[in-house]
Every structure is written in C-alpha cells, then in structure tokens.
Structure 1
Amino acid sequence: MIVSRTPSTTGKSKRPERLLICGSLLSVIAIVCIVTFLLIREHASAQESATRSATTIAQLIDADVLRTVELYDLTLQGLIAAAQRDDLQNVSPQIRHLALFDRSTTARYKGDILLLDRLGNVVADSSRVEPKPGNFADRDYFLAHAFNRDIGMFISRPFQTRCDCDEANQWRISFSRRISTQTGEFAGVAVASLKLDYFDQLFNSLDIGKDSTLNIINSDGVLLAQKPYLQSDSVGKSFGNRPNVLKILSDKDGKGSFTSTSSMDQQQRLYTYSRVGNLPLTVMVALSSDAVFGTWRRTALLISGATGVLCVGLLWLTWLLARELRLRQRAERELGQLAATDDLTGVANRRMLDQTLRHEWFRAQRSGQPLSVMMIDADHFKAFNDRHGHQAGDQALKTLAQVIGENVRRPADLVARYGGEEFSVILAETDSQGAQRIAEHIRQAVEQLPRVDEAERAMTVSIGIATWTTVSEMTLEQLLFAADKALYQAKEGGRNRVVVAS
C-alpha cells in the first residue's frame, strides 16, 4: 500500500472529459436557443403577415360599406327634402312618387324605401305609387327617432320582412332619418332597407382561406353577416356577451388584432377587427390558426426534428468520446500506478521514492519545516529466506510492508521499498522526536507478529532515522547517507532497535 501526498492527477485527468461534455452541452444549448429564436421570429412574422392581410381585407370591406351607407344616406336626405316641399302636395301621385324616390334608384341591394308619418303609418313607398297600408311604429328605428331628435342616421338591428311575397322572411337592416317640422317637432321617419345579401356578395369576392370567417357586427354585438355561416340561425343573434366580441367592442381605438379561441366552434383564430368609419358597425376577420400558422408549423416540425437529430447525434458522439477518454485515463492511471508501485509488496517503488523525496525536499526548503527520512531493514532476513524458502520470504516482506503502512497514516507520508528487504519512509513536516515515535511503533508492531515456527525467533527490524531542519547544513544526499548510516549503527548495536542520526 502506498501512503503518500503526491501531486494529484485525478482532477487534471478528468478535466478534458469535463470540458468535452460541457462544450457539447453548451453547443447543444446554443443550437437549441438559436433555432428557438428563429422559429419564434418566424412565428411572429407569419402572424404579422396574416394580420396585414386581414387588415387589408377589413379595409376593403370598410370602404365598400362606407360608400353604400353614404349612398343610402343621400337617398334618405333626398327623400326628406322632397317630402318637405309644399309644391309636391298638389301634383299627380306618379310625379310625386318620382320626385320622392328619384335618388333611390342608385342604391344597391335596396329593399323598401318608406316615408312614415309621426304615427308610423306608411305615407309613401318606393315600390308602388299607391303605398300599401302598414304601420311600423313598433320598429326600433321609429322609436329611436320619435324620442331623440339628435340621433342622426340610425342603423337598425337585423329584421325579417313581414310581406306575403317572394322576399318574405328575408334578412335586412334599415337606415333611417328623422323628419322634423320647422319648429323641431317629430313629423315622421324616412327609412330605407338594405338586403343582407349585399354582405354575402361582398364577402364572396374575398378569399380568406379555409376555416376562416368574415363577420360584421353592430355596436350591440348583433351579427349582421358572416362568411361562412357557423350556425344557420346566427344572423340577428346577439353575441355581445361572448368574450371575443366584448373585447372588440370595448376597444376605444376600434381596430386591432389578437389570437383567441372561438366560442362558436372552439377553434383557435387570429382576430383582426376594424370599425367602419363613425358607423356603429365593426368588420371582424377571424383567420384560422391552421391557415395562419400551418406553413410555419410544418417548417418548425421539420427544423425541430433535424435539430433534435443533430443534438442527439452530437451528445451521442460526445458520450462515445468521453467514454474513450475515461478508458484511456483509467489505463494511464493503472500504468502510472504500476510504474510507481513495487510488484511484490504493493508499496511505492524506488522510482517513486526518488521523485517524492526530491519533491518533499524542495518543499521543506521553501517552508522551513523539518523533513525526516526513515530506513528500515528486516533483521536476519537472508537466513530466514534460506531456511523457509523464497515464497515464505516474499510473504514476510508483504507483511512487513503492511505493518509499516499501518503505522504511517498521514497522506503526506510515503512508504517505499528501497531494495531487497530494506524499506524507506519519508515523513514530511516531522521532526526527529516524531519520527522516532513512529519508528518505535513500527518496531514493536513487527516484533509482535506471529512466528512462522515456534522454534524460530521473532521477526524484527532495525531502523535508522535522519532529520533535516533549517539549522542543519546538509544536502539531500547527505540526509539519505545519514539515515543509512543510522541504520547500520542499529544493526551493529544488536538489531531490533531505532537509531537517530546525530
């Protein structure tokens, strides 16, 4: 066994392996971070591109709806101006009809254009010279104008026609304006209806992709139009309590975009919305998440898979290389141990003794601490070897090395086989008294070893000690010579004793 404090190579030997593993892990982390950053950036780019496209679609719808509403407003203003002319009261019904509804012929997808008196009765109808009797005092637009003189143009909720005709139950919305007397009193309502087929035609001219929807809602969240219809009876229903609609209607800017789950079909969508001018209408473009991010997802899957394979391959190659390094380091340690160990006794050999002695000598010179060297020789070993044979002699040397090692316990000390039956012990930072105590322990322990034969004398050792201190003037060679000389003095003095060099 070797008891020594020699420069450790364990940390140094493991450092290349650790550096390799750390380098590979850092490389994998860097690759993953870069790929993740690029994928996140591409995701944001895909969303930004989809938002721009949806915003363009919303702006096209806004512009068309604004032109149509302005046209209907001009029609209503012309109807009111004509109705307030006194000279039309005495003309024929045909001429009066032409004067009242002259501007209405340019309105697209127009329904009925009516002139109602203050009681809600039909006074004039764009579809016939003699108006069909009817009362619309219960309509929301009539009630709005009757009780609010400053409402301006009013856009009604969607409604279905009441007539017994081909257009019965057709969905429409109406645009209306108040008719007031010269004193400001309520005199009736001019109202023009728009067929919601207009929005279907407008939406059909736009391509928004699969599973995406176009919607127009009013300020109360009532759905006016949708493409495609997610529910057959959704037109005219209020969705003002739905989270997405609430978020859109509560936005003061009236435009923006966000990603959310549809409450109607539970699909993830990118919502882009825009208010139509100053009108209580909002265009909402809901693009399917698959349409927006489908290409990105396929690309991300491909890149992630390739990156995963690359990282796994890199880590696998690192593991193989690290294993080879470990095997090589283990072999180097075993070779180093074999090169520094005596084959028979297992303690340090002469080569290791010389290296350690020089190391401790220079360290003692720097620190000023004492350095002791102990020379140990088995007494009468040649006679023992001749009498019991080489195998018993070898076993005796192994036992002696074990006893010496058990009594030299500090990591800084070294037990080495000097040659034949002679051993040497290096005691760093140990004065002569300390070395003598250790030597006595060794001598007594050897003397108490069991005998090979009852008639045989007990195994003993002779020990010589030399110590260097700062007050002594000796070289390393002189220190070894002094220890060796003390050993011979012990032998000449009768053996089985410890002698300290003077």
Structure 2
Amino acid sequence: MSASRTHLHLTGNTHRPEFMLILGSSLTVIAIIAIVTFLLIREHAYAMQTATRSATNIVQLIDADVLRNVELYDLSLQGLIAAAQRDDLKQVSPQIRHLVLFDRSSTARFKGDLLLLDKYGNVIADSSRVEPKPGNFADRDYFLAHAFNDDTGMFISRPFKPRCVCPDNEQWRISFSRRISSPSGEFLGVAVASMRLAYFDELFKSLNIGNDSTLNVLDKDGILLAQKPMLRDNSIGKSFGNRPNVVRIMREGSGSFSSVSSMDHRNRLYTFSRVGNLPLTVMVALSMDEVFATWKRTAYVISGATGVLCIGLMWLALLLCRELRLRQHAEQELAHQAAIDPLTGVANRRTLDAVLNREWSRAHRSGKPLSVLMIDADHFKAFNDRHGHQRGDDALRVLARVISENIRRPADLAARYGGEEFAAVLPETDTAGALRIAENIRAAVEQLPPFAAGASPMTVSIGLSTSTGQPNQSLENLMYTADKALYKAKHQGRNCVVSAQA
C-alpha cells in the first residue's frame, strides 16, 4: 500500500496527447454498440413474446380438447346415474338393462370400463359385459372421496393401472366418478368411468413443440398424468408437487415464467393453464435454447459485423497511439519496479531516501514534526539459519504487511531498509503519535503465530526519532538517532520500543 502511494508520488499524472482522439473514437464505438445492443434486446423480448404466444395457443388447444372429452365422460356418468335410479329397469332383462345403463358410454374416446358400484364398493354393472365380473373397489380414492363427502361433484382420480388381466392392463388410466345419492342424500354408490392416458399421447402427436421442449399434464396434487417426450422412465403417476416450479404453477393457475427445470436442469419457458374448473393443469415447457435459437444466430451475425466495424474505427487511433502507449507503459513499469522491494512489496531503499528528502524539506518549510521508525526483526539470523531462507522470506513478507497495515495515512511510508530491517516515515507525526504507532506494530507482530514448527513467535525491536523542524537539525542526525534508539532497544532485551527523545 505504501509503495503504491510512493510510486504515484514519483511518477505523477502524465498528460496523454492522444486523449481526445481516443475519447472521440471510444464515444463513437460506444454509440454504435448501444444502438445494436438496444435492437438485440428488443428482438430478444420479441422472441420471448412469440414463444409465449405460441405456447399459450398450444395450451389452449389442449385445454379445449381435454375439456370436451371430460364433458363426454361426465355425460356418460350422469346418464348411468339417471338410468340406475329408474325403478322400471328392475323388471326388464339383463341385456336391455345393460343397453339402457350404458347407452352414452360409446361416445367417449380412449374409454376404459364404465362401472356402477354399490355403497359397499361392489360392482353391480359393467359396460364391458352384461353380467358384471365380481369386484370390489371400496379402497379406491374416488370411492372414499364420494363415500365421505356428499358434495364432491365429479372426481378425477390419481393415475392407476387396472387390476384385471387384459391386453392393455399395463396402460395407465385415470377415472372420472360421481356419487349416487338417494333423494334424502344417503350414499348409494358410485358411477365411475376410466380413461386410458394414451389419450394424451395421441393428442400430443399432432402438436409440434420442438425437440427439447415438453408437454405435461398434472393433476391438482402435482402428479404427472402425461408427458411428451418422457424425460424420465416411469414418471407417470409420480408426484412433483414439491418441486418449486410446480408449486408456483399450482398456486398461480395460469400464466408464464422462465426458470430452471428440476428434472433436467435446463432453462425453460413454462406456459400453463388450468383446464376449465377441472383439477387438471396443462403445462408447456419450452427449451430456452430453442426459443432463442434464431435470435442467437442473428445476434452472432450482427455482433460480428458490429465488432468488425468498431475495430475498424479504432484501428487508426490505436496505430497513432500505440508507440506512445508502449513507451509510457514501459516507463511506468520501470518506475514501479525501481520503487518497491521485490520480496516484501513495500518501498525499497531508493524510494525511502527520495521520500525522506522530500518530507524533510517539507517539514522544515512548515515547521511540523517528522518521525522515523527503525524496525528490526529480533533473532532473525538465527531463525534463518535454523529454518531456511524460504521461511525467512515468508516472515519478512508478513512483517512488511503488518507494518503497512498500521500506517494508514496517504503520506506515510513503509520501506525495507536492508536485510531484516525496515523503516517507516511518518510526516506531521510527533513523538507521542509515533510511539503509539510503533507500539501497535510491536504488539501486532507479537501476536503472529510462529512461522515454523518449534520456532518462537516473531518479535521486533523499534527505535524512533522525531524532528521538530528546527534549523539546526539535519536528516542525517534524524536517521542516526533513530538507529541509535533501535540498538538501545536491542540492548534492553528486544521486543520493545525506544524513543531517541526519551
């Protein structure tokens, strides 16, 4: 820190003749880049709007088709319930009763079985056969929902696979069900219709969303009912309700936002909508790479052309300024290297002498005090011989850092005097102030941990001297008395501060 301040004092601020040329060229380039950046940002926003609009259209198409098919299932259920409550059907043959009960069920796409359950969950009518196959579904979620709640309305179940051994028993299904109640509200049973989830696969085939994007259908609990393409095997029927993106989708109901997918960790544009008043949500997750693919290609071309133009504009200015800059850089680098000690990073002896002469002249003109600290690492030669020069160099670097950290004013200077000895120049600092700084340095060094195993903690001896600006004083005498005070501190047992004025 002190060396950097001294370097700035020595080099000063050099006026650059090429400043106006560089400034004019830079402003022109900045203006071109700003205009191009504005246009690219606008096109980026337009690409996002276009993708959102396209995804919204897809969601609306799916919503309409799903809602229409669910309404067909609901009509089948209501027709089954109405027919089941007719007393005259009890007198007809089983074949006629079967036709009346299930006369509407053939209109629904991808339908499974349409069942009529009694209040115990037993099958009393089956759309697939005149004589129903015995079975009990009292454990199903839809049966329990209707049995214990008389205002459930149409209930959509969780995904399940059928219990029967049939050609499509491996296909996932969901069921739509309604409660059958007596005029007094007593629970009489459930009418339930199942739908193969292959319906969604067939629906998605006609929609083109790109190679890396996905279509998803979720129920109210975040359970995945359908996905195109399938990102993971066996994801159907699994709940994603605890994923942050799904939580937000379920909370907002409809809308659009961009986020990172928790399944494939890719950035996606989510557009989603709830299907009417049904507990189903359709979600389109577009890949942001695909959304901005065209924009990126355009941006690369425009950016490249802009870059060539800007380089051309700056080329002439750089040619004119190149030699001057190289020479100035070389001078500054040489001045910097000449001003600091390469091992410790603080000012070197040459810089110390220059700063001392300057501050001495300033102190005599102003009549203000000037203090000098001479700081020496105790027993450093023995430490170096025992633990090696590398450890010794590390210790000197840390000592230089501690000294620099304790002299904070811009005019103060820490310098390496030679070997393990350092000096600190403190302009406009009297003896009391210099003593405080010296004691802070001594205490900070004493608190440092040992630099090698088995080594004692580092300590320093400090001698200080202060000039009061009197005409009969000299810089040589100031340095001599400071050095003499240092040797006195050594003879007094080390790890102490001695002032020549004391």
Q: TM-score, normalised by structure 2?
A: 0.60
- Which residue is 2:298 aligned to? 299
1:125–1:131 Cα contact (<8 Å) kept: yes
* Structure 1 segments unaligned to the other structure (5+ residues): 1-12, 327-502
Shift of 1:320: 2.6
Larger radius of gyration: 1
Partners of 2:324 and 2:127 lie apart in 1 by 96
Mapping of 1:100-499 within 5 angstroms? Answer: 100-251=101-252, 254-321=253-320
Single out whichever of 124-133 and 295-304 deviates more from structure 2. 295-304
Deviations 1:419-450 (CA, angstroms, capped at 9, x unpaired): xxxxxxxxxxxxxxxxxxxxxxxxxxxxxxxx
Shift of 1:36: 1.2
Shift of 1:61: 0.2
Shift of 1:19: 2.9
Partners of 1:71 and 1:106 lie apart in 2 by 7
Partners of 1:163 and 1:292 lie apart in 2 by 45
* Shift >3 Å, 4+ stretches: 321-326
1:118–1:189 Cα contact (<8 Å) kept: yes
2:52–2:271 Cα contact (<8 Å) kept: yes
Deviations 1:69-97 (CA, angstroms, capped at 9, x unpaired): 01100110000000000000111000000
- Which residue is 1:83 aligned to? 84
- 1:42 to 2:52 alignment: no
Partners of 2:229 and 2:242 lie apart in 1 by 21
Shift of 1:322: 5.0
- Which residue is 2:53 aligned to? 52
1:170–1:195 Cα contact (<8 Å) kept: yes
Partners of 1:302 and 1:259 lie apart in 2 by 26
Letter in 2 for 1:51: T
Shift of 1:37: 1.1
2:119–2:190 Cα contact (<8 Å) kept: yes
Shift of 1:133: 0.2
Deviations 1:323-356 (CA, angstroms, capped at 9, x unpaired): 6999xxxxxxxxxxxxxxxxxxxxxxxxxxxxxx
Letter in 1 for 2:222: G
1:162–1:169 Cα contact (<8 Å) kept: no
Partners of 2:322 and 2:244 lie apart in 1 by 58
How many residue pairs get aligned? The number is 312
Letter in 2 for 1:232: D
- 1:22 to 2:41 alignment: no
- Which residue is 2:73 aligned to? 72
1:217–1:225 Cα contact (<8 Å) kept: yes
- Which residue is 1:62 aligned to? 63
Letter in 1 for 2:56: T
Deviations 1:368-397 (CA, angstroms, capped at 9, x unpaired): xxxxxxxxxxxxxxxxxxxxxxxxxxxxxx
Shift of 1:131: 0.2
Partners of 2:94 and 2:62 lie apart in 1 by 39
Shift of 1:318: 1.7
Shift of 1:182: 1.1
Shift of 1:14: 7.1
Partners of 1:218 and 1:273 lie apart in 2 by 13
1:156–1:173 Cα contact (<8 Å) kept: yes
Letter in 1 for 2:312: G
* Structure 2 segments unaligned to the other structure (5+ residues): 1-14, 326-502
Identity rate of aligned residues, in percent?
Answer: 74
Partners of 1:31 and 1:160 lie apart in 2 by 63
Deviations 1:177-224 (CA, angstroms, capped at 9, x unpaired): 000011101000000000101000000011111111000001100000
Any idea what SS the aligned residue of 2:109 has? Answer: coil
Letter in 2 for 1:111: G
Partners of 2:254 and 2:201 lie apart in 1 by 22
Letter in 2 for 1:79: L
Partners of 2:309 and 2:241 lie apart in 1 by 51
Shift of 1:32: 1.3
Partners of 2:149 and 2:293 lie apart in 1 by 51
Partners of 1:234 and 1:323 lie apart in 2 by 63
Any idea what SS the aligned residue of 1:304 has? Answer: helix
Any idea what SS the aligned residue of 2:91 has? Answer: coil
2:171–2:198 Cα contact (<8 Å) kept: no
Shift of 1:20: 2.4
Shift of 1:293: 0.6
Shift of 1:126: 0.2
Partners of 2:130 and 2:231 lie apart in 1 by 41
Shift of 1:45: 0.6
1:154–1:176 Cα contact (<8 Å) kept: yes
Partners of 1:14 and 1:137 lie apart in 2 by 90
